[in-house]
Chain A
Amino acid sequence: MTETNKDPNLLEDALRNAIRREDAPEGFALRVLARADQQNPAHEARTSWLSIFSQPLVRWVAFATVSICLVIGGVHYRNLQRQRIQGEAAKQQLMLALRIAGSKLQLAKSKVNEINQSRPEPQPQNRSPRSRS
């Protein structure tokens, strides 16, 4: 039999010591997370994929590709903008042409109406029934 078994007070002290609250050492949480992350296979895949950019040539090629894409996109956008402006101008021209055509046809129509109104209406001819004697 041990000392603690013999004395209940000693047992109680020993238990209190064993379960007393104690703060984790500094950086413990970070170390745990880092360890867990290293064991994650996705992280390994990500690091291996990103590792190709460690080579300068790959970095330059990627940079050039992104730059070319941006330039092409910019030029395409500018062309679309230009086309839209030209299209709007063409639409305005079309509407102007139709308005002029419409107004001149309206002028012709009004002149014809004017002439028709100015003409004296034909008088109905009163034909007297011929009487035979």
Chain B
Amino acid sequence: MSAITRKLLPMVLLLAIPTILRAQDLKLPPGVEKLAAKAKETVEVNMDGPMLRWASKFLSTEDPDEQKAAKLVANLKGIYVRSFEFSEEGAYSAAEVEALRAQFRSPEWSRVVGVRSERDGDNVDVFFKMENDKMAGIVVIAAEPKELTFVNIVGPLEVDQLADLGGEFGIPKLKTKPPSSKPVAKADKGEQK
């Protein structure tokens, strides 16, 4: 190893530490990252704590949505989102989604919602991370026929804030379809699968 390499190596490692730490927050199987090439539309958001603080400084105090957002992100440590929208169905495999879900089958994570719908092919999983009886993070994996979304919110979230997150921000609430076919989906509360 040359002298220059020996001098540069610690610096390179030092620079790589934030990337490594960020990668620990959001591990995506390599196949999932490759989906961006197939996707019609890709959304990638990586915001750590300082970035969230900085971005929240630009949130308007007059806009009600932005007020709620500012309140919501005040104590968060990070928000990581990957959303892939495909033009055709079957762009990703069930194994790829399963590999994603498998990362959250650990004692610190609780799957609070797991929906499997054969009728419309919408599969949604919601995992909570609890620390000292307080929510320390939430992960949402939504696998729809033409869309795959992974959301990882790191940090304490209050339940009411979470409710706000679910039905606010100008998103029209989804209408519940009439129960026609045999429901295959299941919702399990607090079940660790």
Which residues on A are within 8 Å of B, measured CB to CB?
Answer: 84, 87-88, 90-91, 93-119
**CA of A97 to CA of B73 in the docked complex: distance in angstroms?**
11
CB-CB under 8 A from B162, the residues of chain A are 105
Secondary structure class of chain B's binding surface, majority of residues: mixed
Q: A88: which of B51, B52, B58, B175 is its contact (CB, 8 Å)?
A: B58
Known A101-B81, A115-B183; further 5 A-B contacts with Cβ < 8 A: A87-B55, A90-B54, A100-B81, A108-B113, A114-B185
Contact B58 A87 (CB under 8 A): yes
Contact A91 B124 (CB under 8 A): no
CB contact under 8 A between A106 and B167, given known A100-B151, A111-B117: yes
Cβ of B115 to closest chain A Cβ, rounded Å: 4
A-B contact pairs, 25 of them (CB 8 A): A87-B58, A88-B58, A94-B52, A94-B55, A94-B56, A94-B79, A100-B43, A102-B166, A102-B169, A104-B142, A104-B149, A105-B140, A106-B166, A106-B174, A107-B124, A110-B173, A110-B175, A111-B117, A111-B122, A111-B124, A111-B187, A112-B115, A114-B183, A114-B185, A117-B176
Contact B165 A98 (CB under 8 A): yes
Does any Cβ of A come within 8 Å of B99's Cβ?
no
**CA of A119 to CA of B186 in the docked complex: distance in angstroms?**
11
CB-CB under 8 A from A108, the residues of chain B are 113, 115, 124, 126, 140, 142
Number of A-B contacts (CB under 8 A): 125
Q: B66: which of A95, A103, A105 is its contact (CB, 8 Å)?
A: A95
| Contact residues on B (Cβ < 8 Å of other chain), bracket | 35 or more
Cβ of A86 to closest chain B Cβ, rounded Å: 9
Contact B183 A105 (CB under 8 A): no
Which residues on B are within 8 Å of A, measured CB to CB?
Answer: 43, 45, 47, 51-52, 54-59, 65-66, 69, 72-73, 79, 81, 83, 113, 115, 117, 122, 124, 126, 140, 142, 149, 151, 153, 162, 165-171, 173-177, 179, 183, 185-187
CB-CB under 8 A from B51, the residues of chain A are 90
In order of increasing CB-CB distance, the 5 nearest A-B pairs are A118-B179, A90-B55, A105-B166, A87-B58, A111-B115
CB-CB under 8 A from B168, the residues of chain A are 102
Contact B177 A97 (CB under 8 A): no
**CA of A113 to CA of B124 in the docked complex: distance in angstroms?**
13
